[in-house]
Structure 1
Amino acid sequence: MKAEACLFGGVAVFFAGSAALYAYWSHGDPSGTAALVVAFLMAALISFFCAMQYRRKGRRPQDRTDAEVADGAGPLEFFPAKSPWPVITAAGFTVTCTGVVYGLWLFLIGVGVLARGVVGMVFQYADRGGRQES
C-alpha cells in the first residue's frame, strides 16, 4: 500500500497546486477552485487510507520481490455473508433524493432511514472482536 499512498499523495499535491494556481489566475473563480479543492481532498483521503493500511498491516506479498505465491494464500479480510443494512441504506438514500423533489417531510424521513442504515452497517460487527462468524 505504500506505492498507492505515494501515488495518490502525488495526485493530491498536483490538485492542490492546480487549485492554488487556478484561484490566482482566475481571480477567485469559485466554481473551478472548489472543484479542484474537492479533487485534492478526495485524493488526499485515499492517500491517507493507503498510508494507514500500510502502517497497520505492513508490506503485502504483492509488494515484495522475494514473495512466494503461498504467501498470499488464506483469507484476506472478513466479508459478511448476508446483511440487510445495504438495502436499508439504499432505500434511505432513494427516499432522501425523492424528498428533495417532493418536500421536506419526505426528505427528513429519508435522512432517518439513511442514518439508521449507515449506523447499522458500521456497528453490525462491532462486537466481533477477533472471532469470525459464519
Structure 2
Amino acid sequence: MKVEAFLFGGVAVFFAGSAVLYGYWSHWDPPGTAALVVAFLMAAVIAFFCGMNYRRKGRRPQDRGDAEVADGAGPLEFFPAKSPWPVVTAFGFAVLSTGVVFGLWLFLIGFGVLARGVLGMVFQYADRGDRQEG
C-alpha cells in the first residue's frame, strides 16, 4: 500500500496546486475552486487510508518481488454476513437529499439518520476481537 499512498498523495498535491492556481487566476471563482478543493480532499483521504494500512499491516505479498503465490493465501479481511446499517445510511441520505428541496428541518432529520447509520457501520464490529468464545 506504500506505492498507492504515494500515488494518491501525488494526485492530492496536484489538485491542491491546481486549486490554488485556478483560484488565483479566476479571482477565486467559487464553483471551480470548490470542485478542485474537493478533488484534493478525496485524493488526500485515499492517500491517508493507504498510508495508515501500510503502517499498520506492513508490506503485502504483492509488494515483494520474492513472494510466492501461497504467501497471499488465507482470509483477506472480515466481511459481515448481514447488517442493517447500510439501509439506515441510504435512508438517511435520501431524507437528507429531500431536505435540500423541502427545507432545513427535513435536512437536519436526514443528517441525524445518516450520521447514525454511518456510526453504526463504523462501530458495528469495533469490539469483535475482544470477545472470547467459550
Place the TM-score, normalised by the shorter chain, in its bin. 0.7 to 0.9
Instruction: Give 1:2's aligned amino acid.
Output: K
Shift of 1:87: 0.9
For 1:22-46, what per-residue CA distance to the aligned partner results, in whole angstroms no more than 9, with x for missing partners?
1222222222222212211111111
Distance in 1, Cα, partners of 2:12 & 2:88: 34
Distance in 1, Cα, partners of 2:64 & 2:29: 46
Mapping for residues 1-134 of structure 1, pairs under 5 Å: 1-129=1-129
Shift of 1:116: 2.3
Shift of 1:131: 6.0
- Any conservation in 2 of the 1:78–1:132 contact (CA below 8 Å)? no
* TM-score, L = length of structure 2: 0.87
Q: Quote the RMSD (CA, aligned, Å).
A: 2.0
Distance in 1, Cα, partners of 2:9 & 2:125: 31
Shift of 1:79: 0.5
Distance in 2, Cα, partners of 1:132 & 1:27: 60
Show structure 2 runs of 5+ residues with no match: none
Distance in 2, Cα, partners of 1:65 & 1:29: 47
Instruction: Give 1:60's aligned amino acid.
Output: R
* TM-score, L = length of structure 1: 0.87
* Stretches (4+) displaced over 6 A: none
Instruction: Give 1:44's aligned amino acid.
Output: A
Shift of 1:101: 2.3
Distance in 2, Cα, partners of 1:79 & 1:16: 35
Stretch deviating more after TM superposition (81-90 or 124-133): 124-133
Q: How many residues align?
A: 133
Instruction: Give 1:8's aligned amino acid.
Output: F
Distance in 2, Cα, partners of 1:119 & 1:66: 40
For 1:69-121, what per-residue CA distance to the aligned partner results, in whole angstroms no more than 9, with x for missing partners?
11001111111011111111111211222232233443333233222222221
Shift of 1:65: 1.0
